Structure 1
Amino acid sequence: MDGYGGRRTKAERDAATVEVGYALVSAGFAAAVVFGAVGGPALLFDLPDLLSALLLRSGLALAAVVGVARVVSVLVRFRRGAQPSQPGRTSPDS
């Protein structure tokens, strides 16, 4: 981008689209893993109703928090330009 308010090139728009897609897919995966770890036992085992409800609600709440945090962290990292300076080369600190 040529500064603030400038037009983006097609490559920059494509990179942003790919990054948003990656953020959403990885957030969905992370949220599913957290929900499975926390709420999974309530679905697999015959637990008391109160404990089952508590695990399911906790799993849903934690999954939502993890999902949002993952999307935000990926997009903030992309916005800061944590990309290699030249295509095909890695950063020195990687």
Structure 2
Amino acid sequence: MKRLLWLGVGLAVGAIVVRKLTQKANEFTPSGIATSLSQSAGGMVESMRSFVEDVREAAAEREDQINKAFAEGELYVNDDEDEDGRNGQEGIR
């Protein structure tokens, strides 16, 4: 009875190992590589879209600040600039 139990355990472990190895081997086939590249490219495109959206939001916010200062007749001063007007970037001109 013990031998039958261990035979069953061995078959189960063997099946799991073969399945995992087959999945890993499929990653290195041309279709597996194409799928991986497609997913990577999709992630990069989504990242770029998110970046562009963030830049647009920041630009719209800055534009609103400038328009508000102009409407009030005030001189717009960039809060991020230091006394020299360098915008916090040492040595970059």
TM-score when scaled to structure 2?
A: 0.42
Between 1 and 2, higher relative CO (CA 8 Å, sep ≥ 6) is seen in: 1
TM-score when scaled to structure 1?
A: 0.42
Look at both structures and tell me which one has the larger radius of gyration over its CA atoms: 2
